[in-house]
Structure 1
Amino acid sequence: MTGNIRPSRPRQPESPVRQENLRPLNLELIFRHIVATGRPVSRTELATVTGLARPTITRIAEELLAGSLLTETGLTRNGRAGRPRVGLTLSDRGPAGLGLDIRADALAACVVDLTGTVRHLAFAPSTYAGADAPDVLARLAHMARAAIEAVTAEDLTVVTATLAVPGPVHAGVVRSAPELGWREVDAGALLRAALDHLGPLDLPLTVDNQANLAALGELYAGDNAPSSFVYVSGGLGIGAGIVLDGRLLRGARGWSGELGHVTVYPDGEPCPCGSRGCLQTYASLPAILGDEPAPAGTTPDTAVTGRAEEGRPATLAALDRAGTTLGVALADTLNILDIDTVLLGGSFSLLSSWLTANIRAEIDRRVLSAAWAPVTIRPALLGPDAAVIGAALTSIDQVRQHPTTWLARSPGSRPEGLREPDAG
């Protein structure tokens, strides 16, 4: 998936601060207005919108241009009468964000620039059989280095990295990821050590839940993205990212969205988490594949898709069961949260043709409001790449929210002290 992706929701205009000793606040005011507008903005328009004096606008614009945060475009009228004026827009050189992801079939690395455009997207086939956390994260470190080197050649500087993992995270520690066999794994420290082993690299690093980052990626994926939705991600396990009114719902301890461990059959099959009857035991890729694993040279996604297209009864029955149990779990979620959109992500985006009918049947049967307010169920726009793109967008959003941190760096050095997002 390439192209331009909108990394943050527009904010309402803020009031200017006129004291010269508060110049950084005025700088952020101007920069955020350009981010929110999403089109070239003239200096005259900035003066009108913010109420700041034209000389102040000029000084701040020159600083943002010199810091590679903005670039000048051709002449623009901005929809107004009068002579065209030079527009200011986000630069596609300068700061960039790095996302890393551990997927069912691959490791992934992505870099986006300040405009939200994907500048690098790479994958490495992966299997977790016999692979412990240090080995997996060492491979990701090599991919991260390769991504940084690739975009450095394009005049980009990676300022922050975010790692997506399939499990709840606190302070960089993956508390539980049964599908990976991880429990209490300090993924942040292990990845930092692997990066440092390859050479000095002063790069802030955050670890976050895969489904949460994928939901953020979908939230930023276009102007028509819904402001409230449940993003359900299928793969080795099942997770969900919940967005309410344009904000990610993390929960008190960052554990929200563990849809895979919602009980659908109280006395059902045992789950690696220690419980029984969890959704994951019926609707994850391993559950759909059953006793016949993916053949060598294929991925779980392509193995399931191929068997379904061949009309294999066992695979079709497993997909029917997956869709039904997904519908049951999602219906409970929608009844509690009153959300009207479900996005099928990860492997579910590729299998939506076989899952959607049964999901809809259960939601229509069980969601109280479905008769008056139908629920939208559709594949996620970013497909299986949502988590790694969302991780990269989360990384670059630190600059978009706090541009003065980037500008404060010493010439030629990497930015330091970027505020890390609250990752639960």
Structure 2
Amino acid sequence: MSADAAEVEVRAIAAGGDGVATLEDGRTVFIPRTAPGDRVRLRTLRLHKRFARAEIGEILAHGAGRVTPPCPHYVRDRCGSCQLMHLSAEAQREAKGRIAGDALRRIGHLEIADPVVIASPTQLGYRAKVTFAVAGGRMGYHPLGQPDRVLDIRDCLLAEPAVRRLHQAVRTAASLLPVDVTRIVFRRDRHDGLHVVVRTDGKDAWVKGKALHGQLQRAGLTATIWWHPEGGAPRAVAGGVQPWPATIFEQVHPAMGRMVREAALHALGDVAGQHAWDLYAGVGDTTVALVARGATVESVELDRRAVEQAERVGPAGPIRRAGLVEERIDEMQPPAVVITNPPRGGMEPVVTDALARTAARRIVYISCDAATLARDIARMEAAYAVSSVQAFDQFPQTAHLECVALLERR
């Protein structure tokens, strides 16, 4: 089949953000940066046994949801950090709802409609943290489909204004960064403290951290500068110690993170006088909320620094454990209710098996990947039925979304 001759109409967006169409021979073809309803002529068609991949050669007709992306890096440089910036906000949410619904039906064995995706209050400027790769004098994201290259990103429109200013100030002082820098994080914490975390692949001391701090101060920015050598612990090298360590995980979209947590707590219902598990607990925000609602709580979190921070700033009473959930879950008292918020890879089989053996009346599962959510639901389907699934556009312009699923004991 000639790539120049292949013309297709895009019917949907797949997980990951590529458009989906069908070739004349029946194979599904995945085409990045396309919109449902687009009619496109393909180029660089790569045929596989059961599917194909291609690039846009020419857009012959635009789908209704296609818009002009606001970021020049998305168009000019094919920046891979965003996948759906060429779609309107409404079209993005529709696509994500379809992706989630498909995963829940196909993998989770659920008879369920596509969830309605709750909109973010902002489409740009929402990220309190951005992480850039650094290589060859360039600081930025990877081009689409080229993880071995680094783009020089001058401005990321997804970052909050303060984080954007911090990034741009460090760009002008890039000569002060260590020569072996591989990654750099710009972050605003929940107390509005700013942080720059510099990751290196060597252990040679970084001697210019204080100079970078001074340069930022002259630009009107006060930030803590962190150095994180490969294989070592992160350490603050300038700017004093902030009340919130920069390397502890927090949601990158704070407003939507709070909305998701409130939805999860609402789904859990009345917990007063009940014993609750908070799995993959992070810094303990959900634990705090459960205690405030009258529950006794046991939590597990892998990051010991997050557990230590939770013990410093959280209420007394909860039993907080540091370690892998799969290694600590058998130590815990039987729960009446559970909130679980695992990373993108979902829960290990030993965890879903343990949950299925509990007598918990409700499990609320917060997930940033509909496919692993659906897989874990299927593992527990003999013990728990899904009552509802809510979806949230926590990461506008990308193919990612957050889901909150309520599972009730059969």
Q: TM-score, normalised by structure 1?
A: 0.26
Higher relative contact order at CA 8 Å, sep ≥6: structure 1 or structure 2?
Answer: 1
